[in-house]
Amino acid sequence: MDVDLLEKICADMRGAPDLGKVADYIPELAKVDPRHFGISVCLADGRQLSAGDADVEFSVQSVSKVFTLSIALGRFGERLWQRVGREPSTNAFNSVHELEVHDGIPPNPFVNSGAIVTTDALLVGARPRETLAEILHFVRYAASDDDIHIDAAVARSEKLTGDKNWALAHMLRAYRNLDNACALALGTYFHQCAIRMSCEQLARFGRFLAHIHPHRSPVRAEHVRNINALMLTCGHYDGSGEFAFRVGMPAKSGVGGGILAVVPGIASVAVWSPGLNKHGNSLRGTAALEELSTACRWSVFEPHDR
Ligand code: GLU
């Protein structure tokens, strides 16, 4: 694995005819130039290799669900699973329908309803600003970088237009699976989604999930296994099966076009390309990870030594 491979992937992606479609249901995200492409990899020997726009910040959106799940597992352990399931969903990431069917229990912590419940759990006994400070502290520590912040304009934009999430929060509340007022839980959730990070920062965050920086891990090993299992099965919503088939790495996508992926014991990878596929996952980001995974034999399903 060397930087030439990342440069080649970058050149291939820059030449790709289809950029995908930038998320426009959050108006602030629609302003992002779809031509951006960045990739960064952290390796077990401590090296970090990057190419393209790897130092440009973007809105992490649902990648932040990994941050909150990590903190919530540490705090609540098994009790978290009384409020949210651990099964993949074949419905869209913001489906209201499945909450009705399952009496207000979201299928997993990575669909929006499950992430809103996770954030709500973190809010108990704290104010939104304290919970957001806790999330930022956690991310900065794991990424070894204090220069990570929330983009208030993106959070505001989603607060005004995120009607599906408001519907989800009210539905959760109706089923007594939201302890805080909808505005508090969602206000916190919109702000965590609006955290801005670069691929370089995100790849460094992923080191503890890849277990390549274990002495600094902010999360217990058993929870790392849980999170990776959920990323593999649920991290790309109703496109998770296709992603496992093509890439074969535990990974979490966000509608900002970022993807955080891990190869346990070997590497953590972050890619960013703002255009999305029909499931809301980065189109060229997925293609780039497929190319990387194939070249390095990094699929966790590889039958021989990686
Ligand atoms: N903030 C976005 C939402 O709640 C996150 C979705 C995503 O990144 O997949 O709709």
Identify the pLDDT of residue 215: 78
Identify the pLDDT of residue 183: 97
Rounded-to-integer distance, Cα 265 and Cα 96, Å = 37
The stretches in the chain having pLDDT less than 50 are none
3-state secondary structure of 175: coil
Q: Encode pLDDT of 122-168 as tens digits.
A: 999 999 999 999 999 999 999 999 999 999 999 999 999 999 999 99
Residue 111 C-alpha to ligand 1 middle, in angstroms? 9
| Alpha helices for 19-84 (secondary structure H) | 64-76
Identify the pLDDT of residue 216: 81
Domains in the chain and their CATH numbers? Answer: 3-61+196-296 (3.40.710.10), 64-194 (3.40.710.10)
* Active-site pick, 198, 237, 262, 263: 237
141 tagged catalytic: no
Site to substitute for ligand 1 among 25, 59, 61, 192, most atoms within 8 A of C-beta:
61
Residue 246 C-alpha to ligand 1 middle, in angstroms? 23
Rounded (5°) CA angle 141-260-149 = 45
Rounded-to-integer distance, Cα 208 and Cα 218, Å = 7
Identify the pLDDT of residue 303: 87
